[in-house]
Structure 1
Amino acid sequence: MRCIIVDDEALAREGMESYVAEVDYLELVGSYNSAVAAHNAMQQHPVDLMFLDINMPRLTGLNLLELLPNPPLTILATAYPNFALEGFRLDVVDYLLKPVSLERFLKAVNKARDLYLLRQQQQAPQQPAEAEYFFVKHNRALEKVVLADILYVEGMQNYVQIHTTSQKLMVHQTIKAVAERLPEQQFFRIHKSYIVNLSQVQALDGSSVRIGSCLLPLARSQREALLQRIGHRFL
C-alpha cells in the first residue's frame, strides 16, 4: 500500500516513518509538514493510505479530508482526543492518540490493509456471466439454442438430439462433447445417453425421470448423485 505521512511536527513524522518501515506491505511515498503540501502532492500521485495529523496551521487534517473528493484510507494521529467523533464522521479507518505505540499502530494498519484488500476485490473485474445460449449447425443453418429452453439432450452415437420447448435439433456431435459445453450447475447426465435440464425435471419415479410427457431412463449409478443435486429443493 502506497502511503504518506502528514504532520507539522518533525519528530512525529520521524516516529511514524520508523513505524512504517517496520511493515512489509507499506511503502512510504511522501512525508509532508502541511496539509496543503500533501493536498498538492495527491493531485499528482494518488495514494492508498494517509497518516494524518489534525491540528496543523492554515489547513487542518479534517479540512484536508473534506477537500478530497476521493480521499485515501486515512488513519488520524493526533494529541487531541476530542476530534474522534468528527474524524469517524469523515469515515477514517482509525484514530490514534499521540504518543502512538507500535502495537497500536500495527492494529490500525492491519485494519487499513483489510479494508484495502476488500476494496480491491470489489473493484476487480467481474467474471463474464456464463453464456445463456449457443449456436448449433442444423440443416445447413446455425440455430440459436437458449439454455433455459432445453428439456433434455439425447445421445445417438455420433449425433445428439436436443429437445427444446419448441423444437428438436439433430446435431452432429457426441453427447460427451455437448456435456462439456453445458453448465454443470444447470444440467445433469442421468444416463450415458441422456442429459437433462434440472429445472425441467418434473418427477423421479424409480429408475426414470419425467420431463413433460417423456420418461427418461435414470442410470442406477446416477440416482444418488441426482438426489443430492435436487435434495435442497425437497419440501
Structure 2
Amino acid sequence: MNQLKCIIVDDDEVARLKVLSIARNFPILKIVGSFSSAQNALLEIDKQTIDVLFLDIDMPFINGLELRKKLATVPVCVYITSHPEYALESFELETLDFLIKPLQQERFAITVNRIKEFLDIKQKASLYELQFADDFIYIKQGYEQTKIHLHEILYLEALKDYTLLVTNTKRHCVFSGIGNLLKETHFESFVRVHRSFAVQKQFIQKVGSQNITLIKNIVIPLGNSYRDQLQFVE
C-alpha cells in the first residue's frame, strides 16, 4: 500500500504536535497538513487528494463533526478528542475510529492497522461477489469461493459501498450496501441497530442505553433512531 496522505485539524497546538509526533512513527502515514481550524483546512484541502482525516471535535466556528460532513468524500476519518460523549454522533458520520486524549502510541497503532485493513478491503471490494442459496451464502473472490451458513453471521457492518459479514472466526466482505442486504429475505433475522450495524436477533444478550452486547461479549453501538426496533428484547 502506498503512503496515505493525512491532515490533522485541532485548535490545540500541543495536541496537534502530539499527533504529528506519534504519526511520524508509522511510515505509511504522510502528514501533508496540520491546521489550527477547520476553516484553514478547508482552504488547503482542495489542492490535493486526502486519504485520512485526524480531527478534533470541539473547535470554534466549525467543529469536527461539521468538518467531516463537508469532507465526506475523504475515505477515512479518525477523531482524537477529550469529549467521549460525541462518540455515538461521530459514528453516524462513518467514523473509522474514535480516540480519547491524551493520545497513546499503543492505541494509535491499533488505529493505523484499522486504517490499512479498511482501505485494503475497500480496494478489493469490487472483486467480491455474493450468491444466495437455501440457508447459506457463497462469497466469491476471483476463482475462490467461500460457503457461509447464515446462522454463523453475528452481525453486519457497513463500510461505505460494501458490507462486512462478521462471524466468530472471520470477517467477509461483500460489494453491497447494508441497506440492500437487509432487503433480502436471507437477512430477515437481522435487525438494524445503527446506521452502520445490523445484528442477528438471537445473538443479542443485553441492550444498554448506548450499545448492544452480543454473545462472545461483542459490543455494538446503538443508534437513537433504531432503539424502537429492539422493544422485543427484554
Give the Cα separation in 2 of the matches to 1:72 and 1:40.
Answer: 19
Give the Cα separation in 2 of the matches to 1:61 and 1:115.
Answer: 21
1:75 corresponds to which of 74, 78, 99: 78
2:26 corresponds to which of 23, 27, 31: 23
1:90 corresponds to which of 80, 89, 93: 93
The structural deviation recorded for 1:46 is 1.9
Q: Deviations over 1:15-70 (max 9, x none)?
A: 00011110011111111111111122222212111110000111000001112241
**Which residue of structure 2 lines up, in the alignment, with residue 8 of structure 1?**
11
Structure number with the bigger relative contact order (C-alpha 8 A, sep ≥ 6) is 2
**TM-score, structure 1 length as denominator?**
0.51
Give the Cα separation in 1 of the matches to 2:81 and 2:7.
Answer: 15
Q: Secondary structure at the match of 2:49?
A: coil
**Which residue of structure 2 lines up, in the alignment, with residue 41 of structure 1?**
44
Q: Secondary structure at the match of 2:58?
A: coil
Percent of matched pairs sharing the same residue: 36
Residue identity matched to 2:13: A
Paired residues, number: 125
Give the Cα separation in 2 of the matches to 1:52 and 1:92.
Answer: 10
Q: Secondary structure at the match of 1:3?
A: strand
Give the Cα separation in 2 of the matches to 1:81 and 1:95.
Answer: 8
The structural deviation recorded for 1:104 is 0.7
The structural deviation recorded for 1:115 is 0.7
**Which residue of structure 2 lines up, in the alignment, with residue 178 of structure 1?**
none
Give the Cα separation in 2 of the matches to 1:89 and 1:108.
Answer: 18
1:177-188 maps to which residues of 2 (within 5 A)? none
Structure 2 runs not aligned, ≥5 long: 129-234
The structural deviation recorded for 1:120 is 2.3
Moved more, 96-105 or 66-75: 66-75
Q: Is 1:105 the counterpart of 2:108 in the alignment?
A: yes
- Relative to structure 1, is the Cα distance of residues 11 and 89 closer, same or farther in structure 2, using a 3 angstrom cutoff? same
1:180-219 maps to which residues of 2 (within 5 A)? none
The structural deviation recorded for 1:71 is 2.7
Residue identity matched to 1:95: F
**TM-score, structure 2 length as denominator?**
0.51
- Relative to structure 1, is the Cα distance of residues 69 and 50 closer, same or farther in structure 2, using a 3 angstrom cutoff? closer
Residue identity matched to 1:80: H
1:59 corresponds to which of 55, 58, 62: 62
Q: Secondary structure at the match of 1:44?
A: coil
- Relative to structure 1, is the Cα distance of residues 88 and 19 closer, same or farther in structure 2, using a 3 angstrom cutoff? same
**Which residue of structure 1 lines up, in the alignment, with residue 121 of structure 2?**
118
Residue identity matched to 1:105: F
